[in-house]
Structure 1
Amino acid sequence: MASKYLDKLRGKSIVVVGGTSGVRFATAEASLELGANVVVVSRTQDSVTKAVRRLQTSHPAAAASIRGHVCDISSEQAEADMAKVFDLVTGNGANPVDHVVSTAGSFPNPLALAGATPGDLVAASSHLFIGDLMLAKVAVRYLRPAYTSSVTLTGGAGTYKPPPGWPLWAGIGGAKDSLTRSLALELKPVRVNLVSLGAIRTELFDRAAAAHGHHDAAFVEAAENSSALGRIGDPGDVAETYLALMKNHFVTGTVNVVEGGAFLI
């Protein structure tokens, strides 16, 4: 007998952009476990190959439901490259996509206002904002035009509680919030939402520790102390939020902050 809730993503076509590690990989893996057909998209062939191999190894029975393609959504030719990927995924539009999840981006390094340049702003915007805007522009042509379809973007909780050296990133984060609400109207009936992440233990988190000049243990302890739960998040915790936004057909234009109660401290 079909399960009313567990089968909501079964057979659905889900494209995870940046889906090769951490939160990205966990979201792809969770979608696969619920019976979806998953496509992971990342900037390099090596990362795509490794992600597909990991998914196929952990879920051999679903190997045929896993594909991967290369595309850098922050590049100047991103729009054309994304169209090529979606053409491959959908058979030139014959088989629409149901959900697109964008987790593309990296953990930003601190950038003091005094040292910021217009070039820094352009580079950061291309990587964290313009890429998602172009992705939405292309994806809507290949998404099933229904409220059951969705686009989910990713931001950072530092937008709302910025640490020192964060004006550039907080500004881009605020722009992405506004973009989400605007796209929810622009792309309707396709739903558009944003997941805003706090401290999550991923490869990006580990690199951030090094970039901030901290030892790993000290960085982890500081992040744990900033959480009301006394812990940092796991990629699997966050994947549940992306799944919920795909499965809940009555939510759009929202910002979903996953930060372990850090705003309460």
Structure 2
Amino acid sequence: MPDQQKYTNKLHGSRVLIIGATSGLGFGTAEACLEHGISKLILSSSSPTRIEATIAKLKTSYPSASASTEILGYPCNLADESTLEQNIQDLFAQVGTIDHIIFTAGDAVMLTPFLEAGFDMIKQGGMVRFFAPLLVARYGYKNLAPGPASSITLTTGASGDKPIPGWTAVSSYLSGLQGMMRGLALDLKPIRVNLVSPGGVDTEMWDVLGDEGKAELVKELARATFTGKVGKVEEVVEAFLYCMKDGNLTGSMISSNAGRLLV
């Protein structure tokens, strides 16, 4: 007689959409979903080429899981204000009924200091990180199976709680995601809406700084932690899994920051 599986099997058979799935935390969450036996995995990012490469990579790494899990991909450009709303509506016209939406999408870090940035640059800095997840929730909730088993999980960052010099605009969007999440949890109930706030995580996002610049940033972030290191993707992905698994969790933020907020 086989053992019962009350805990390790919670995501088995689920249908999950990950927006921002081709790198970093999104890709790590996609890997974790396959390991947890979901029935359908839908990947989305702005690049059709990267989606195809990501699907091939997942199928190579998880040959048996991908044989039992349908893996699909749909491009969606979230960076263009003029087409943002229509692109998101078009995405959800394709994905069908799902159980969970994970939003980890981001774009190049806004490096221009706040006092040197014009309004257009400030607005563009929130297009993917703030306005896109708001519209994803606005239109995507209709695709979710009704009830508290379904969820939307958004992503913010630690500078929303602990600002970094020059990052006023970015910090505003990141802290604003906390209010967005709470409002959505109320407006979309009983669908659950939560937020993951990673501290420093070693992902491709920082590649824009170059090898030397990225290495220096990782050192600096590590010094501002209790663990003496930045997070790994496979560590922080556990927060996204928990948001999907815990049917009693809504209107909450999980912060995986290695103690950075206490330093």
- Return the TM-score normalized by structure 2: 0.92
Residues 42 and 70 in structure 1, CA contact (< 8 A), matched pair in contact too: yes
* Structure-1 residue corresponding to 2:157: 156
Question: 1:258 corresponds to which letter in structure 2?
Answer: S
* Structure-1 residue corresponding to 2:228: 230
Which residue of 85, 89, 103 corresponds with 1:83?
89
SS of 2:239 mapped into structure 1: helix
Work out the percentage of aligned pairs sharing the same amino acid.
Answer: 32
Moved more, 174-183 or 102-111: 102-111
Question: 1:70 corresponds to which letter in structure 2?
Answer: P
**Which whole-Å CA distance do the structure 1 matches of 2:216 and 2:91 have between them?**
41
Q: What are the Cα deviations for residues 57-87 of structure 1, in whole angstroms up to 9, with x where unaligned?
A: 1111232421111112333323333333333
Runs (4+) off by over 3 Å: 213-217
* Structure-2 residue corresponding to 1:30: 32
The structure-2 alpha-carbon separation of the partners of 1:110 and 1:216, relative to structure 1 and needing over 3 Å to count, comes to closer
* Structure-2 residue corresponding to 1:68: 73
**Which whole-Å CA distance do the structure 2 matches of 1:170 and 1:18 have between them?**
20
Residues 40 and 48 in structure 1, CA contact (< 8 A), matched pair in contact too: yes
Residues 201 and 234 in structure 1, CA contact (< 8 A), matched pair in contact too: yes
Shift of 1:146: 0.6
The structure-2 alpha-carbon separation of the partners of 1:112 and 1:80, relative to structure 1 and needing over 3 Å to count, comes to closer
**Which whole-Å CA distance do the structure 1 matches of 2:122 and 2:104 have between them?**
20
**Which whole-Å CA distance do the structure 2 matches of 1:193 and 1:216 have between them?**
30
**Which whole-Å CA distance do the structure 2 matches of 1:128 and 1:84 have between them?**
19
Residues 230 and 258 in structure 2, CA contact (< 8 A), matched pair in contact too: yes
Shift of 1:214: 5.3
Aligned length: 257
Give the root-mean-square deviation of aligned CA atoms.
1.7
The structure-2 alpha-carbon separation of the partners of 1:132 and 1:7, relative to structure 1 and needing over 3 Å to count, comes to same
SS of 1:192 mapped into structure 2: strand
Mapping 1:14-29, distance limit 5 Å: 14-29=16-31
The structure-2 alpha-carbon separation of the partners of 1:219 and 1:124, relative to structure 1 and needing over 3 Å to count, comes to closer
* Structure-2 residue corresponding to 1:40: 43
**Which whole-Å CA distance do the structure 2 matches of 1:226 and 1:122 have between them?**
29
* Structure-1 residue corresponding to 2:126: 125
**Which whole-Å CA distance do the structure 2 matches of 1:30 and 1:182 have between them?**
28
**Which whole-Å CA distance do the structure 1 matches of 2:240 and 2:205 have between them?**
19
- Return the TM-score normalized by structure 1: 0.92
Moved more, 255-264 or 147-156: 255-264
Which residue of 13, 17, 39 corresponds with 1:11?
13
**Which whole-Å CA distance do the structure 2 matches of 1:238 and 1:261 have between them?**
14
**Structure 2 unmatched ranges of 5 or more:** none
Give yes or no for the alignment of 1:261 onto 2:262.
Answer: no
* Structure-2 residue corresponding to 1:247: 245
SS of 1:10 mapped into structure 2: coil
Moved more, 71-80 or 141-150: 71-80
SS of 2:44 mapped into structure 1: strand
**Which whole-Å CA distance do the structure 2 matches of 1:112 and 1:144 have between them?**
43
